[in-house]
Amino acid sequence: MWVCVSDVFDVNLIIKEILKSMNYQDHENKPLDQLQRLLGETLDKKKYLLVLDDMWNEDRLKWLALGDWLKGGKWGSKILVTTRSHTVAKVTNENSAIYNLKGLTTDESWDLFREVAFGERQASVDQRLEEMGRDIVRKCAGVPLAIRTIGSLLYGKKEDQWNRYRVKKLPEISEIDEVDNGIMQVLKFSYDRLPSCLKHCFAYCSLFPKDYIYMKETMMPLWVAQGFIESHNGEDSLEEVVDNYLSELICRSFLDVVRKGNNGEVLLFKMHDLMHDLAQKVAGGECKIVNFKGGDNDGRIRHVSFILEDFSEEKMSSLLNTSKLRTFLYLMGETSIPNSPKVFSKCRHCRALGLCEWDIPLPPSSFGKLKQLRSLYIFTNHSIKILPDSITDLVNLQFLKLSGCMNLKIFPRDLRKLVNLRYLSIHACDSLSHLPPLSELPSLRTLSLVSLDALEFIQQTSDLGQSNTIHPFFPSLKNLVLFDCDRLIGLWDNPQLSFPELRSVEIEACPKLNFVPPFLQVEFLKIDSTKMLEKQLLTNSNCPSEAAVGSTFIPFSKLKHLDLSSRDVVPSMLETLLLLASNLESIRLHTTDTWGLLRGLEHHYFLPSGLHTKYQKYDSRLQLGLPTKIQELVYRSSDWCELPKGIRDVMTLRSLEISGCGLRSLPEWIGNFSLLEKLVLIDCRGLKRLPSEIRNLTHLKELIIIYCPNLEKSCLIDVPAPVLIRTGYESERSA
């Protein structure tokens, strides 16, 4: 179990996080006594290891209060506390063993600096730059964050810039040690060199608590709402600009990647505690987390997030009266805010509004007056039954996301008034049976409908079919996601309608869906229904010839990435699809006879070079071999005690996942996968060792090991460095 504690030592919150780390998903709304009882039952007579990371609590009584709830575990249970304070270390127990972690050695420091500062050029570093680099590294005292930050700052710079930093800037920095002294000056110096747009995005992250896992999907609307995101060339989309900003902040070590998507885009990211301290510092009084425990009233506040244990109407009124808020985020709290109409009436300058577990209805009158609002996010509100019509008065609204509004039944009909709405996401609103017309929203680029159990249809535009004029049908929509909508029948079945800008489609677990968009321009398609594909192929057979109309009008002609998961895929249909998809770069197959399909198509010239496939049950034919173009293989079967020998000839593998297998060891020939970048081992309980040949995987970047309890840790010494090794759910850089 791993819990990040940071500045606030709240026993109740820590108990929730402990339960969460053990994969309990339904604890958020449970009363404290029930949580404590659940924790006691879970730990009773079990041996456990609990890591309390980055603790700053110096109050021994609070520590003892937490300890009372952690009793009952089996003999040998351990609690590991990480802290940067010797005082905190002594608070836990006078008899506890204290380990003082040392910084990196001189060689380790130089290796890390060289990797960050020179990148791919590290094999041929100029001698003069190396001398200056080693001089700079000595100042860092083995502190990885300082090394990475300075290395990122100097990356790509010329020799005179290196020398200027070493001679002029480095002496101004206080002596760095392992207890943060001097590090903040290094971080601030690097921050000062950021472009202003990146400075704003970085400082804005201070609205969230330490150890927070940021979602790009959440942060993009907030940044856009404040005007931080701009396309300098006028061609890049906002999404592309955000991706570029994130890449730059990560490259400069201000942010760290938590998870990437299949195409390499950053989905989740986090911030080092010291970077969070820097973000708070540079944000000054403009960004603040409010809990009403101290003096939260500050007229400079423009962006505020609430994490409330107690509500003070007096302090809230004072805050709203003295501040022209641009951001209002209610992140969490043990109490609700009673007078919501008054709150909203004071937020007329607000550009971003986020309400998490704000379980009170939205006031119709005051809500429509938020004319500057660009982003609205409502999460887990059981009191909303009707989304007020006044929401259509928010003409500047660009992002609208509703999630967990279980009793929401009615949407305002005239949504077409939201002419600037770019993103509409509705998740887990189980009472919503229909939606108003969406097709005429002129700016809508992303539509995501997920886990809507009651949704049956989206209403057609009232005058569609009654006039000779054909209105544009989703004129700007680029991304469509339909998932787990059991009753959804269709969007609107009319052969004259098209989605002219549609590029990405994901449709899964919608068994009654009888109409899907034409895949004329789609580049990414994820689908689990062959019936939908067959309908598209039938449409193609009635199309004019390619010579007559051009390949632009041929379905699937623009398709680059296909993810097909279905039991009844037949070779003839797949072959026809591949013939049409002349630009296909990768295909992911999850079917009942993946082996047969792939072997049947192996020698066809149109089979893409990027093949990704999954085997979830015993298939003896794997001993005979696999297509040599496979780049990603997921193998899950409890019936195998060794890897099928047919895999060993697939030299194109870049990612291999082995899950739930009875392996005792990996074969020596796994070292032949010279292109392998990612190796994942999950729930291989009999696995004891890795072969020494694993050192031959020179392109390996990531090794993930989850629940392989008998694996000897000593075998990891053969893993080539530098490789990111993840064990359980945490990660460390290999030595």
Confidence band (pLDDT; 50, 70, 90) for 126?
Answer: confident
* pLDDT above 90 (res 408): yes
Confidence band (pLDDT; 50, 70, 90) for 544?
Answer: very low
* 443: its two tokens: 């700016």
Q: Give the pLDDT score at 494.
A: 59
User: Cα separation of 252 and 98, whole Å?
Assistant: 33
The reply to whether domains 196-283 and 609-735 share a CATH topology is: no
For residue range 339-386, what is the model confidence (pLDDT) as tens digits? 666 777 778 889 999 988 877 777 777 788 899 999 999 998 888 999
Mean pLDDT lowest for which of 18-27, 233-242, 266-275, 576-585? 18-27
Least Cα distance to 395 among 373, 411, 379, 410 occurs for 373
Confidence band (pLDDT; 50, 70, 90) for 551?
Answer: very low
User: Cα separation of 108 and 143, whole Å?
Assistant: 11
Question: Are 704 and 710 spatial neighbours (Cβ–Cβ below 8 Å)?
Answer: no
Mean pLDDT of 185-195: 87
Coil, strand or helix: which one is 689?
Answer: strand
Domain boundaries, the chain: 2-92, 106-192, 196-283, 521-584, 609-735
CB neighbour list of residue 97: distance below 8 Å, 6 or more residues apart: none
Mean pLDDT of 624-651: 72
* Cβ-based neighbour number of residue 238 at 10 Å: 18
Amino acid code (one letter) for 610: G
CA angle 164, 165, 168 (to 5 degrees): 70
* pLDDT above 70 (res 132): yes
* pLDDT above 90 (res 640): no
Most confident residue range from 120-124, 299-303, 422-426, 619-623 = 422-426
Between helices 106-118 and 144-154, what is the axis angle to 10°?
Answer: 30
Residue position matching structure tokens 């700053």: 56
Q: Give the pLDDT score at 464.
A: 47
Does domain 609-735 fall into CATH 3.80.10.10?
yes
Confidence band (pLDDT; 50, 70, 90) for 539?
Answer: low
Higher confidence at residue 546 or residue 333?
333
* pLDDT above 90 (res 170): no
Mean pLDDT of 7-35: 71
User: Cα separation of 271 and 253, whole Å?
Assistant: 9
Q: Give the pLDDT score at 534.
A: 75
Q: Give the pLDDT score at 546.
A: 40
Mean pLDDT lowest for which of 235-239, 276-280, 461-465? 461-465
User: Cα separation of 326 and 351, whole Å?
Assistant: 5
pLDDT above 70 coverage of the chain, percent: 79
Q: Give the pLDDT score at 94.
A: 65
* 615: its two tokens: 């085997």
Q: What is the CA radius of gyration of the chain?
A: 28
Higher confidence at residue 539 or residue 158?
158
Q: Give the pLDDT score at 334.
A: 54
Mean pLDDT lowest for which of 40-54, 473-487, 578-592, 604-618? 604-618
Higher confidence at residue 569 or residue 670?
670
196-283 CATH fold: Arc Repressor Mutant, subunit A (1.10.10)
Its pTM stands at 0.77
* pLDDT above 70 (res 131): yes
Beta-sheet pairing, 214-215 with 49-55: unpaired
Between helices 32-43 and 11-21, what is the axis angle to 10°?
Answer: 50
For residue range 304-325, what is the model confidence (pLDDT) as tens digits? 888 766 666 777 777 777 678 8
Mean pLDDT of 106-123: 80
Q: Give the pLDDT score at 161.
A: 84
For residue range 411-447, what is the model confidence (pLDDT) as tens digits? 998 899 999 999 999 999 999 999 998 988 999 999 9
Question: Are 228 and 220 spatial neighbours (Cβ–Cβ below 8 Å)?
Answer: no
Residue position matching structure tokens 């003069």: 128
Confidence band (pLDDT; 50, 70, 90) for 130?
Answer: confident
For residue range 218-272, what is the model confidence (pLDDT) as tens digits? 999 999 999 999 776 666 788 889 999 999 999 888 999 988 887 778 999 999 8
User: Cα separation of 121 and 138, whole Å?
Assistant: 21
User: Cα separation of 67 and 50, whole Å?
Assistant: 12
Q: Give the pLDDT score at 377.
A: 94
Higher confidence at residue 522 or residue 468?
522
Look over the chain and give the mean of its residue pLDDT values, rounded to a whole number: 80
